[in-house]
Amino acid sequence: MSLRISEAVIWQETGEGVSLYNTETGDFHSLNDTGSRIWRLVASDGEREPVMFKLSREFAGSNSAMSRRIVADVEEFLGAMIEQGLIEEIPAEEPAVKEESLS
Amino acid sequence: MSRAVVLGGGLAGVLAAAVLAGHADEVVLVEGDRYPSGPRPRRGLPQSHHSHVLVAGGARALDALLPGTVDALLANGAHLRGLPGDALIYSADGWFHRLHTDAHLISCTRGLLDQVVRRRALGGGDVEVWEDTRALGLTGDEARITGVSVSRQGAPPETVRADLVVDATGRRSQSPRWLAQIGAGEVEEVSVATGLAYATRLYQAPGDLAAAIPAIMLHPGTAKGQPARGATLFPVEDRRWIVTLTGTRGGEPPTDEQGFTAFARSLRHPIVADLMAEATPLGVVRPYRDTVNRRRFFERARLPAGFAVVGDAAVAVNPVHSHGMSVAALGALRLREELARHGLGPSLFAGLQAALAAEAERSWRMAIEQDGERVTERAGERVTERAGERVTERAGLDGAPRREPNAFELEIRTRLAQAKLSSPRLAADFFGVQTLISGDTATDRSEIARVLTGRPEPLLTGEEAIGQYPVLAAWRRSRFAAATS
Ligand SMILES: Cc1cc2nc3c(=O)[nH]c(=O)nc-3n(C[C@H](O)[C@H](O)[C@H](O)COP(=O)(O)OP(=O)(O)OC[C@H]3O[C@@H](n4cnc5c(N)ncnc54)[C@H](O)[C@@H]3O)c2cc1C
């Protein structure tokens, strides 16, 4: 399964991290630092594995207990995003979607 | 013999009486005023000097109640204006494009509207109308209303027995006090101040422009800390225009000749002032100040059986939304449905007031979202903050409490607000809600995504906006030519 940002989401990098607007619901969201980092990785890599890998290397180094915690946290974050329809899971062969941003 | 008594013969009362005539053996309409012989304002209806437009949702309801009424209004000189297809609107976000939607309004004087409605609603003779008769109080107890006390033409009070009493006495209704006098429960009341003042004047319009003119609305701008000042000009019957100037505290429109003109001239665009200069004033400038949003939650009180409240007496909103008459018509339609289901008997009363209140809910919510920084709940001396807070503005995902909108959010909001000026689908949504023909959830999400990812449409200049209306553009050209020759 690949990950992609929902077409219903308009998002932008701001000084405080990533800000999102869900055009389906009219809701605004701001992500904290870690959430913003995950979001950017989903946007650029579009796959669960590289996202996990990069984050655990970045924050856990070779500490495997830490690495497990990070994987759990990222899963939780992605689960919440998927539940809210902000990120979608798609079968791997479909190409990930382009970034939707304000023109 | 069943008898229903309706107190107050304004729009809500007249329509309620007409509906009740199909269900009670006898219907009496008690009106404190005397009706004028023609389409004129009257003492009991001080707001009848001011602009009264009937929005699409109300026009449909009125036609469902009294088929053919809208056509009769138009035949008597009322004007239909599409929104925003036949309306020059300068909103806080910019000028609207001339887009055609189902939303519209009917414009005529309140005097004409009432006269046409009265004739059709009461003309059949099924309703007994007692003019010059004041309602003084209710009779009965906390469980059951048995009648009403009235004074006919200043005579000593008499009691009129009734199976149902409907209060339609408008903004100044005494029902909460009357209920307390017979030992019934307290009625919770919420008011949201508007600080808004009206000043209105009628004009005889110049020949070519008189009836062809679009509806014109200049809304206040967005400048913070400044009074919100605006104007409307609507064509009404007999080749007249009605101009209403509005302003919030510190920016109230003056009622003297010069001040009225100067106020119009000082608005964000001079079009209304220019048109006023072209027309002949008829009569004086009329003020109006009682514009508070006020709701009495009769549906939450332990109401005695045999009693209901309709129209402004229950829910009165800031008149700037132009909803009151439409809500009165929608309420009468709902009364008809409830009567059809339950008849005029005990099973009617359990849910009647809640059903009537539901018809006013949309309008009330829209009004307090715009006006409601603070809601004062008088019943419990409770103060609720920011009634207007949108549900969508929840805490951020990181659990942090909501802070001020950031630049991204402001940009999205601005883009959306401006997109509705030129997107036919967003304009249809917006005016559909404003004119009570669609629910407030009718937002076209795919169009929102489209306008946010596409290139923004440039905003119209005042000249371009006016240029959309050939009749106005021609008038401006001839005016300019006259000034320079
Ligand atoms: C300045 C202004 C502009 C407005 N513009 C618009 C608009 O553009 N569009 C719109 O839809 N709505 C508008 N409204 C709202 C509209 O006027 C009301 O919502 C509408 O009139 C509701 O009518 P009603 O029958 O409930 O009350 P009212 O029309 O106020 O009628 C109440 C009636 O009860 C009578 N009465 C009062 N007390 C007694 C008593 N004790 N005994 C017997 N009779 C009594 C009065 O004489 C009157 O006839 C505006 C209101 C104002 C104030």
Per-residue pLDDT at B231: 98
Contact B398 A35 (CB under 8 A): yes
**Residue that is last in its domain, among B254, B288, B322:** B288
The pLDDT tens digits of the residues spanning B60-108 come to: 999 999 999 999 999 999 999 999 999 999 999 999 999 999 999 999 9
Give the residue numbers spanning the domain of A7.
2-87
A102 and B449 within 8 Å at the Cβ level: the answer is no
Q: Which of B188, B186, B246 shows the shortest CA–CA distance to B51?
A: B246
Contact with chain B for residue A46, Cβ under 8 A: no
Cα–Cα distance for residue pair B81/B234, rounded to 1 Å: 9
CATH number of the CATH domain containing B54: 3.50.50.60
B13 within domain boundaries:
yes
Last residue of a domain, one of B288, B306, B327: B288
Is residue A64 one of the residues assigned to a domain? yes
Whether residue B223 sits in one domain with residue B273 = yes
Residue A93 lies in a domain: no
Domain span including residue B51: 3-82+105-192+292-371
Q: Counting beta carbons within 10 angstroms of the beta carbon of residue B71, is it exposed (0 to 12), middle (13 to 18) or buried (19 or more)?
A: exposed
What is the pLDDT, as a whole number, of residue B449? 87
Q: In B311-412, at which residue ranges do the beta strands (DSSP E only) sit?
A: 315-316, 374-377, 382-385
End-to-end CA distance of chain A: 30
The tens digit of pLDDT for each residue in B163-183 reads 999 999 999 999 999 999 999
Residues near B248 by beta carbon (within 8 Å), at least 6 away in sequence: B194, B195, B196, B197, B220, B227, B228, B229
Pocket probe for ligand 1: among B35, B47, B129, the residue whose CB has the most ligand atoms within 8 Å is B47
A29 falls within a domain:
yes
B93 lies in a domain? no
- What is the dihedral sign for C-alpha B123, B124, B125, B129? negative
Domain of B269: which CATH number? 3.30.70.2450
Q: Do B175 and B187 form a contact (C-beta atoms < 8 A)?
A: yes
Return mean pLDDT, chain B. 91
Mean pLDDT, range B272-299, rounded to an integer? 95
| Any ligand 1 atom below 6 A from CB of B331 | no
Kindly report, residue by residue over B9-32, the tens digit of the pLDDT. 999 999 999 999 999 999 999 999
pLDDT for residue B246 is more than 60: yes
- Please tell me the distance in Å from A36's CA to the nearest CA on chain B: 10
Same domain, B351 and B270: no
Bigger pLDDT: A95 vs B347? B347
Residue A19 lies in a domain: yes
Largest separation between any pair of C-alpha atoms in chain B: 78
Determine whether the shortest distance from the Cβ of B319 to ligand 1 is under 6 A.
Answer: yes
Which residues are B245's β-sheet partners?
B199, B231
Question: For B257, phi and psi rounded to 5 degrees?
Answer: -50, -55
Chain A CB contacts of B450 under 8 Å are none
Of the partner residues B393, B443, B452, the one whose CB lies closest to the CB of residue A102? B452
Number of domains in chain A: 1
8 Å CB contact of B408 and A19: yes
Check if A101 contacts B (Cβ < 8 Å).
yes
Q: Tell me, yes or no, whether A82 lies in a domain.
A: yes
Backbone phi, psi, residue B291, to 5° = -110, 10
> Is residue B145's pLDDT more than 70?
yes
- What's the complex ipTM? 0.75
List, in order, residues 6 or more apart from B466 with CB less than 8 Å away: B88, B271, B472, B473, B476
Three-state DSSP class for residue B429: helix
Same domain, B161 and B216: no
Q: Per residue in B274-286, pLDDT tens? A: 999 999 999 999 9
Q: By three-state DSSP, how is residue B249 classified?
A: coil
The pTM score is 0.89
Query: Tens digits of per-residue pLDDT, B116-136?
Result: 999 999 998 899 999 999 999
